[in-house]
Amino acid sequence: KIAIASIIRDEEGSGNLGRFLDCCLELEQYHKNLVYIFIEGDSSDRTYGVLKDWTGQRSCSILEKINKGYSPFGKTKDVKRTVHLAELRNRLIELILYLQDVGEVLMIDANYGWKGDLISSLREVNAHIAAPLAVMHKDDSGRYIFYDIWVFRKNGREFWPIYPYAEDMQFDNPVDVDSVGSGYLIKRQVLEAGVRYDGNNDSEQVGFCNNARNLGFSIRINPKIYIRKGGFKE
């Protein structure tokens, strides 16, 4: 089975959650063995109710509510924020490993959308951790602005927003990178080897990827595939 795992907060009011769940529905056309594992907490909108209704219609789903009472974090490298996110993502891993028949995990944030069979496109990369590019809107030249520049890194350097996003980037073949974020397909063996999220020194996702690389696992991007912040509206 393939687990789609996400930590989710306050995504219903913006419409992001609806677009995200529509993308999950589209994946069901290609994959009949999906398992949904979601953690929601501290939302001030209808996020939990929507997720409860949606997962209640699927026998292969887990929805866990974890309220910490934290005010919404800004998009910063605040250690309190990254440690909190690491704890939640590591809880997702616990739930995933409890299911013995899950072989792959699409760890993805619920404020992204995509088109088509994202899972099969990431499998083509043939890596232990495989990611698409994470983008926002297009610039005046028609190229996407890169979004998660703090987390995506190559040769020890952060990505930048403007195409080609990093030095030595190629767009015809998979690209080896140091770390990825936002959404990525993980092979079960990575989690069984003890790779976990660490938010003490940097982004919890950078910590996860560093721990994976230290154990010899490969991390690659499929540069032909995009997930978009807020979904694809155009």
pLDDT at 233: 64
Q: What is the mean pLDDT of residues 10-36?
A: 96
* CA atoms of 93 and 87, how far apart (whole Å): 10
Q: What is the dihedral of CA 161, 167, 170, 171, to 10 degrees?
A: 0
Confidence of residue 122 (pLDDT cuts 50, 70, 90): very high
Q: Taking 60 as the threshold, does the pLDDT of residue 139 lie above it?
A: yes
Q: Taking 60 as the threshold, does the pLDDT of residue 106 lie above it?
A: yes
Q: What is the pTM of this model?
A: 0.95
pLDDT at 202: 84
* CA atoms of 8 and 89, how far apart (whole Å): 11
* CA atoms of 36 and 7, how far apart (whole Å): 11
Q: Taking 90 as the threshold, does the pLDDT of residue 78 lie above it?
A: no
Q: Taking 70 as the threshold, does the pLDDT of residue 234 lie above it?
A: no
Q: Are 131 and 122 in contact (CB under 8 A)?
A: yes
pLDDT at 207: 96
Q: Which helix (H) or strand (E) holds 202?
A: none
Q: Taking all residues of the chain, what is their mean pLDDT, rounded to a whole number? A: 95
